Amino acid sequence: MDRRSFLKTTGAAALLAGGRPAAAVPGEKTMLPFPIIDTHVHFWDPDHLTYTWIKSSPVLNRACLPRDHAAEAKPYTIDKLVFVQAECARDQWNDEAAWVSGLAKEDPRIRAIVAAAPLEEGEAIFPTLEKLAEAPLLRGIRRLIQTEREPGWCLRPDFVKGVQRLEKVGFTFDLGVTRHQLEDVTELARRCPNIRFMLDHIGGPDIAGGNLDPWRDHLRKLSELPNVYCKMSGVATVAKRHAWTPEDLKPAIDHVLDCFGFERTAFGSDWPVMLLGTKYAQWVDGLCTVIQGCSKDELRRLFRGTAEDFYRV
């Protein structure tokens, strides 16, 4: 029986230990039988570094720190966190990585850092990467591609060389892109076969508008590259914010798992940006509702195993 048929025919009780059923309705709490590894969190303090993009948002324009994440994730237990660069001012990118390294000394849940770096510098980026690699928690780089409007920007020769240079320091690359850039990053990943890529936020499909094409086809082609993984994050943010149901998310989530499988899919929250569209527990509940019927091994792979392998946490 294939995964899709299994999910349709198997009872939700197969999800959890101790006979606790998965959530059957939105908002009903689903207690997982193990702690979660959250592969996509941001921390910032506007009094410390500059984040111009949050200034217009009353929800985000505040200090967002590890203690806040722990409080807002309840009743779920998050025992490991992967910090992903939060797009502070460009001249502060190294400062951000150093600041989060300091936070990790106070909160041992922070196990990995994905920092920002100007990979478009090509070969010249290597000294910067070597310096970043001295930090024990550095695991990868995210240079946001979604902010670049030029078609094919990520295929510029110098950018491709910069990404290829990640191999020398053992870094992965997080793909922060729009759905319109999926074809470009598929070619980027093809040109960098020795780099492991993580697609953030499932590539941002138009869930709110109910139009998943051509995202579906582009995601399928991207998933055919074995060096690409997908982060099950940011899904509720591209749905009808604070008005979505698990049924709204199901077509996109099912397609991600059909393409990447549980082996190459990792849970992420995108906290605190997620708060624009959902609360933490609501997102976990909704995801568990959609995947009810999966095996215990698949559940653990989604919420822990892929993260452990990809980010070495």
- Parent domain of 181: 3-311
Instruction: Provide the residue-wise pLDDT of the chain in tens; the chain has 313 residues.
Output: 344 443 443 333 333 333 333 333 434 455 699 999 999 999 999 999 999 999 999 999 999 999 999 999 999 999 999 999 999 999 999 999 999 999 999 999 999 999 999 999 999 999 999 999 999 999 999 999 999 999 999 999 999 999 999 999 999 999 999 999 999 999 999 999 999 999 999 999 999 999 999 999 999 999 999 999 999 999 999 999 999 999 999 999 999 999 999 999 999 999 999 999 999 999 999 999 999 999 999 999 999 999 999 999 9
Global pTM reads 0.91
How many domains is the chain built from? 1
Quick one: pLDDT at residue 221? 98
Query: What's the rounded Cα separation, in Å, for the pair 172 and 114?
Result: 8
Quick one: pLDDT at residue 106? 97
Q: Which of 237, 243, 214, 228 is nearest to 306 (CA)?
A: 228
Q: Which residues contact 118 (CB under 8 A, 6 or more apart)?
A: 90, 93, 125, 128, 143, 162
Quote the longest CA-to-CA distance of the chain: 56
CATH of the domain at 24: 3.20.20.140
Quick one: pLDDT at residue 51? 98
Query: What's the rounded Cα separation, in Å, for the pair 252 and 157?
Result: 33
Q: Which of 299, 282, 280 is nearest to 291 (CA)?
A: 299
Q: Which of 190, 131, 127 is nearest to 162 (CA)?
A: 127
- Cα-Cα-Cα-Cα torsion 229, 232, 233, 237, nearest 10 degrees, comes to 120
CA distances from 2 to 255, 261, 302 (A): 14, 11, 18
The DSSP-derived string for 103-115 is HHHH-TTEEEEEE
Edge-to-edge order in the sheet of strand 197-199: 36-41, 78-84, 110-115, 138-141, 172-175, 197-199, 228-232, 265-267
Quick one: pLDDT at residue 31? 67
Distance linking the first and last C-alpha atoms of the chain: 33
Quick one: pLDDT at residue 101? 98
Quick one: pLDDT at residue 132? 98
Residue 293, token pair as written in the block = 């019927």
Residue 223 CA to its chain's centroid (Å): 15
CA distances from 225 to 172, 192, 199 (A): 15, 11, 12
Residue 93 CA to its chain's centroid (Å): 19
Residue 259 near residue 220 (C-beta atoms within 8 A) = yes
Residue 281 near residue 23 (C-beta atoms within 8 A) = no
Determine which helix (DSSP H) or strand (DSSP E) holds 272, and give its type and residue range: none
DSSP letter at 64? Answer: B
Query: What's the rounded Cα separation, in Å, for the pair 263 and 226?
Result: 11
